[in-house]
A and B are shown apart, each in its own frame.
Chain A
Amino acid sequence: MSFLRRIGSAIRIPALSILVALLVGAIFIVVTDIEVLGLLLSDPIGALSLGIGRAASAYSALARGAFGDPASFSRAFESNGDINIWARALRPIVESVVSAVPLIFVGLGVSVAFRTGIFNIGGAGQFSMGAIGGTIAALVFGAGATPAPFAILMVMLFGVIGGAAWAFIPGFLKARLGASEVITTIMLNFIATNILFFLVINVEFIQMPPYIQPVSKELSQFVELPGILPIEGLRLNISIIIALITAALVSVFLFRSTRGFELRAAGLNIAAAKYAGMGAATSIITAMLISGAISGLGGALVAVGTVKQLSPGIAGSVGFTAIAIALVGGTRPVGVVATALVFGLLQNGSRLMQIETSIPIEMLLFIQALVIAFIAAPDLTLGILKNPFQSVLRRAKK
């Protein structure tokens, strides 16, 4: 019972924040709708109902894009196990999980740094360097299109090394020279992006023939990650399982290990950590190495297993979304996984929303930003939900 209550109190604020962000997002959808605005003066009631209708259809598309269409599911149940119909019904939810995989990795990575009091904003750069490492490993060790455990291990190892090496730089600079990790990690994001760009347009070993497009060779010819769903066309592979195992390991590391204890102590109170004889510099570098390794592992698995190609946009906005996820998830591995899944659903669902209602995908960034704002101001969130009119009424009475 108390366990359930603890979970309840832990997710109350994040869950409410997401809910309130969606509500505010709906208002935003309504007030930016030109037709609704046109009707506003001549027919306010009509404008209101039209606006509510628009928001409802947008969120309906979002939900169907994220979870799947109930109609497709009922068709799948009636199909007597037709694999193709099932695949179509399941694809949205599976794709949502696929979208969540990079978010889980980078979310975990930045969480380890945050726990140590380091604001690592370099998740994107570390992810990119991991993707580069994984791609090179795939090209070097990949024998063909069949799953080869050794090649996969090398892909993971190179991803870990790429990300860890990239994160070591800001870690070392902070520990030794006191350089702000906020600045150095942001700068290293740009450098990573450009290294990646350089590799896919200048290095024949990597670039896809006939060497025109800025992308790598198709990696599926070299290594493929085994899928975990027995249905053709659903591209969920073992990377989600590796992500969950990583989350479990991070949890053990942070909360059960001696090193993790030092990291958390340094993150909460660096003065007390020094007083207790813990080496602050070691903690900073350790945290950054682990943080980068996890993000890099994600980059390698996503490049090789999901996108199956190294391309300049591979990191996308994962670095910043991961920061949001780490904060919403309370920098706890369980929370990070859960939040990443929610954000995966939103990300994937917003694609169908854009197709059906022409509300741009950027709307999602707006909602994500609102989530962060509401997490940062829990009183505001609770206040909005409690009763928006309560305080007005109380004032009116006086």
Chain B
Amino acid sequence: MRLQLQEITKQFPGVLANDRISISVDKGQVLGLLGENGAGKTTLMNILSGLYKPDSGKILIDGKERIFRDPAQAIAAGIGMVHQHFMLVPVFDVTESVVLGNEPTKGPLGSFDRATARAQVVELSKKHGLHVDPDAKIESLPVGVRQRVEILKALYRKSDILVLDEPSAVLTPKETEELFEIIRGLAKGGTSVIFITHKLNEVIAVADKITVLRRGAVAGETTPEKATPAKLAELMVGREVQLTVSRSKSKVAEPVLEVKGLNVLNDAGGLAVSNVTFEVRSGEILAVAGVQGNGQTELVEALTGLRLADSGSVLLQKKPLPFGSPRAIATAGVAHIPEDRNRDGMVKGMTVAENYILNTYHLPQYSKGGLLNRKAIATATEQAVKDFDVRTPSIHTDIASLSGGNQQKVIVAREFSQNVRLVVAAQPTRGLDVGSIEYIHRRIVEQRDAGAAVLIVSTELDEVLALGDRVAVMYEGRIIGILDAKEATRERVGLLMGGIVK
């Protein structure tokens, strides 16, 4: 065994994050580590990379016990981490980024030996089939290539145990496929890979061996040959899970949202949304697919009042949308599930109840004479917590201490608490566990069936295909195609996401 973790236990105040977890990976093997958020994957990897010390348990490399006091010792032992959020300097070029921290030097002053560094990077990328231009600036590279730079960085430090934390979260389907090629190549060359994900299809596609974690413990081990997505989901969640959203045919009626020639600028003043035209009708779900950063964020912000539109018209139920006023837009019947729930959707440090009334607190039922009606707020929140199955010790608990899925349920409950004509949901299930995803999808479909128009923006192809009655694809600020659900195959949408119009 190249690497073994034996009976690793780590206790945090109130949480047993890792409960006697044992995993192992052989030389040249790909281990898929599957688990929901909060299952203990990240803690385990932080222990492996020397950030945390386990309370008990052993790390063995080639059968010998190793103790990592800090990340430097883990790196020296050959463990390379590629984090979900890249740690790269945008203005550096690829060569500089790869060697940063271990630069080859020359001369008595130890000045940076650029030529040697470049040669090493070129050789490394050739050897492992990681194609990158060594002179390109990081900021000019697409995310998929930046990830290759991160992998090169680990390889440059002579890592032969590579840990990839949710590597596909930011990639297009095509980039993901390329990443899998790279992983297979690395494994063939003798590198051991630990591939952390919560996506069932991915582990089946790339892993040689699958370990499923649930609530800090190993829930099961299997191989891709024996595994099915349904089986893995059940191991992950601990019960049977409905992977597809069951929904009836929609009764489509009049348009609720009509967007014509909309242009929106990004923070830098560039055109983020360019001449976008579409409509969403009552009783249908329009799913907007696209790789992160193709204008979806700005589109949603403009529609929900967080960003002013540059030009174009938006009609909500035949009336002009009150641009720039989130409150007026919400009052007009728009529910907004924000893309970044930590940033926009909730106030950490406030209670579940306070977050439940975050945008309705000013309504007469909650506020009288400038004072909050705490009784009415408590009653309404108790009901919402029950209706939406929010798992919280109390409505007076700080929302920050809830799991992501329960936080999102509070947000969804709040947004659906008023009369809803249009739902704008951006990445409504990002980072959530399978159980919560299933639940939130169901709730959104319920709104559609009740006659609301639904606009879902998602970078997850699975989500787009599962929910969309029609699928629009955004690429570089434009909508480059709108497909009906039956034409929207994985391949067609995937190609459009990459900007390829046939």
A389, CB-defined interface residue at 8 Å: no
Chain B: interface size category: 20 to 34
Q: CB distance B345 to A272 under 8 Å?
A: yes
Q: CB distance B347 to A258 under 8 Å?
A: no
> Which residues from 319 to 337 on chain B have a C-beta closer than 8 Å to any C-beta of chain A?
325-328, 330, 336
Count of A-B contacts judged by CB separation below 8 Å: 64
Bound Cα distance from A259 to B359, whole angstroms:
13
B374, CB-defined interface residue at 8 Å: yes
| Residues on the B chain within 8 Å of A176, using CB | none
| Residues on the B chain within 8 Å of A265, using CB | 347, 350, 354, 358
Which of B326, B349, B367 is close to A258, meaning CB atoms less than 8 Å apart?
B367
Which of A257, A259, A277 is close to B325, meaning CB atoms less than 8 Å apart?
A277
Q: CB distance B326 to A276 under 8 Å?
A: yes
Q: A258-B362, A261-B354, A277-B325 are in contact. Are A269 and B347 (CB under 8 A)?
A: yes
A169, CB-defined interface residue at 8 Å: no
Tell me, rounded to whole Å, the shortest Cβ–Cβ distance linking B479 to chain A: 25
| Residues on the A chain within 8 Å of B267, using CB | none
| Residues on the B chain within 8 Å of A257, using CB | 370-372
> Which residues from 221 to 275 on chain A have a C-beta closer than 8 Å to any C-beta of chain B?
252, 256-259, 261-262, 264-265, 268-269, 271-275
Q: CB distance A269 to B327 under 8 Å?
A: no
Tell me, rounded to whole Å, the shortest Cβ–Cβ distance linking A331 to chain B: 11
| Residues on the B chain within 8 Å of A271, using CB | 343-344
| Residues on the B chain within 8 Å of A264, using CB | 347, 350
Q: CB distance A256 to B371 under 8 Å?
A: yes
Q: A271-B343, A272-B347 are in contact. Are A258 and B372 (CB under 8 A)?
A: yes
Bound Cα distance from A269 to B345, whole angstroms:
10
Q: CB distance B370 to A275 under 8 Å?
A: no
> Which residues from 38 to 58 on chain A have a C-beta closer than 8 Å to any C-beta of chain B?
none
| Residues on the A chain within 8 Å of B344, using CB | 271-272, 274-275
Q: CB distance A275 to B338 under 8 Å?
A: yes
Chain A: interface size category: 10 to 19
B92, CB-defined interface residue at 8 Å: no
Q: CB distance A261 to B361 under 8 Å?
A: yes
B450, CB-defined interface residue at 8 Å: no
| Residues on the A chain within 8 Å of B359, using CB | 275-277
B346, CB-defined interface residue at 8 Å: yes
Interface of A is mostly: helix
Bound Cα distance from A287 to B304, whole angstroms:
27
Bound Cα distance from A273 to B327, whole angstroms:
11
Interface centre among A252, A261, A265, A273 (most CB of B within 10 A): A261
Q: CB distance A256 to B330 under 8 Å?
A: no
Q: CB distance A269 to B371 under 8 Å?
A: no
| Residues on the A chain within 8 Å of B374, using CB | 256
Tell me, rounded to whole Å, the shortest Cβ–Cβ distance linking B352 to chain A: 14
Q: CB distance A275 to B336 under 8 Å?
A: yes
Q: CB distance B326 to A275 under 8 Å?
A: yes
> Which residues from 258 to 305 on chain A have a C-beta closer than 8 Å to any C-beta of chain B?
258-259, 261-262, 264-265, 268-269, 271-277
Bound Cα distance from A159 to B16, whole angstroms:
55
| Residues on the B chain within 8 Å of A252, using CB | 371
B348, CB-defined interface residue at 8 Å: yes
Bound Cα distance from A379 to B416, whole angstroms:
42
| Residues on the A chain within 8 Å of B361, using CB | 258, 261-262
| Residues on the A chain within 8 Å of B306, using CB | 274-275
Q: CB distance B348 to A269 under 8 Å?
A: yes
Bound Cα distance from A259 to B372, whole angstroms:
9
Q: CB distance B330 to A277 under 8 Å?
A: yes
| Residues on the B chain within 8 Å of A268, using CB | 347-350
Q: CB distance A275 to B345 under 8 Å?
A: yes
Bound Cα distance from A325 to B367, whole angstroms:
32
| Residues on the A chain within 8 Å of B362, using CB | 258
Bound Cα distance from A303 to B362, whole angstroms:
40
Tell me, rounded to whole Å, the shortest Cβ–Cβ distance linking B102 to chain A: 30
Bound Cα distance from A276 to B325, whole angstroms:
10
Bound Cα distance from A272 to B349, whole angstroms:
12
| Residues on the A chain within 8 Å of B358, using CB | 265, 272, 276
| Residues on the A chain within 8 Å of B330, using CB | 277
Q: CB distance A272 to B343 under 8 Å?
A: yes
Q: CB distance A277 to B327 under 8 Å?
A: yes
| Residues on the B chain within 8 Å of A272, using CB | 343-347, 358
Tell me, rounded to whole Å, the shortest Cβ–Cβ distance linking B380 to chain A: 15
Bound Cα distance from A277 to B345, whole angstroms:
12
Tell me, rounded to whole Å, the shortest Cβ–Cβ distance linking B333 to chain A: 14
Closest partner residue, chain A, to B305 (CB atom): A277
Bound Cα distance from A349 to B290, whole angstroms:
67
Q: CB distance B326 to A274 under 8 Å?
A: yes
Extra inter-chain contacts (11) besides given A274-B326, A277-B327, CB under 8 Å: A258-B367, A258-B372, A268-B349, A268-B350, A269-B343, A272-B343, A273-B347, A274-B306, A275-B326, A275-B359, A276-B326
30 pairs across A/B with beta carbons < 8 Å?
A252-B371, A256-B371, A256-B374, A257-B370, A257-B371, A257-B372, A258-B367, A258-B371, A258-B372, A261-B361, A262-B361, A264-B347, A264-B350, A265-B347, A265-B354, A268-B349, A268-B350, A269-B343, A269-B347, A269-B348, A269-B349, A272-B346, A272-B358, A275-B304, A275-B306, A275-B345, A276-B327, A276-B358, A276-B359, A277-B326
Going nearest first, the 9 A-B pairs with the smallest beta carbon separation are: A277-B327, A276-B359, A277-B326, A275-B344, A268-B349, A276-B358, A269-B347, A258-B367, A268-B347
Write the residues of chain A forming the contact surface with B, with a CB cutoff of 8 angstroms: 252, 256-259, 261-262, 264-265, 268-269, 271-277
